[in-house]
Amino acid sequence: MKELPEIFKILYDASLEFVVIGGAAMHLQGSAYVTKDVDFCYSRTPENMRRLATSLAPYHPKLRGAPADLPFTFDARAIAQGLNFTLTTDLGDLDFLGEVTGLGSYKEVKASADTQIIDGIPVLVLSLSGLIKTKKAAGRAKDLYVLPELEGLELLKRKTGVE
C-alpha cells in the first residue's frame, strides 16, 4: 500500500472529483478503526470517469477477487457500464463507489464532506456526521459496531474544536 498522501496526489493531479469515504475517512477524522483498503466516492460525469481511468491506468487496476483470466480493462467505458468497483492496484486496494448507502451519489456525498489539507493538497473527506449516517443506513453488524466510536468522536471534536 502506498502512502495515502501519494495516492491523493495522483488523483488530485488528475483533477479527479472524489471524496474519501469508509475506513480511511474514519481514520482521517480521528478514529482508531483499522481497515485494509481505501474507499472513494467519485463523480460519474463522463469527464471524471475518463480522468479516473487515466489516473489509475499506470497502476494496473484489476477487479479484486476476479479470476485472473477474466478479461477486464478499467477504462471509461467499463466505468460507465458499472457503478462500484473494488480494485487491486499497484497503489493498494482501492474501492471507487458511484453511490454511497444513506447519502446518494457524489453530489450528496460531497455536501457531507470536510476539506482536509493533506501535505498541501485539499482533500474532501466524508464528515463524521456523514459517516454516521451511512453506517446507520447500511445497518450491517460491522457498520453498527463502529457507531459508538464515531458518535463519541463527533462529540469529542465538537467539544474541543479539534479538526
Partner 1 sequence: MTPEQSKLAYELITNPPAGSKLADAKDWGVDLTLLYANLKRTPSERARSFASMVHSYNGLRDAARESPPSQ
Q: Which of 79, 123 has the CB closer to partner 1? A: 123
Residues 16, 24, 52, 113: which binds partner 1 (CB under 8 A)? 24
Does residue 116 touch partner 1 according to CB under 8 A? yes
Site string for partner 1, 81-100 (x = CB under 8 A): -----------x--------
Q: Which of 47, 119 has the CB closer to partner 1? A: 119
Number of residues that bind partner 1 (CB under 8 A): 37
Does residue 137 touch partner 1 according to CB under 8 A? no
- 71 Cβ neighbours under 8 A, 6+ residues apart: none
| DSSP codes, the chain | ---HHHHHHHHHHTT--EEEEHHHHHHHTT-----SSEEEEE--SHHHHHHHHHHHGGG--EETTS-TTS----SHHHHHH-S-EEEEETTEEEEEESEETTTEEHHHHHHTEEEEEETTEEEEEE-HHHHHHHHHHH--HHHHHTHHHHHHHHHHHHHH---
Q: Which of 92, 104 has the CB closer to partner 1? A: 92
Residues 27-66 that bind partner 1 (CB under 8 A): 27-28, 30-32, 34-38
Does residue 149 touch partner 1 according to CB under 8 A? yes
Binding site for partner 1 (CB under 8 A): 1-5, 8, 24, 27-28, 30-32, 34-38, 92, 116-119, 125, 148-149, 151-157, 159-163
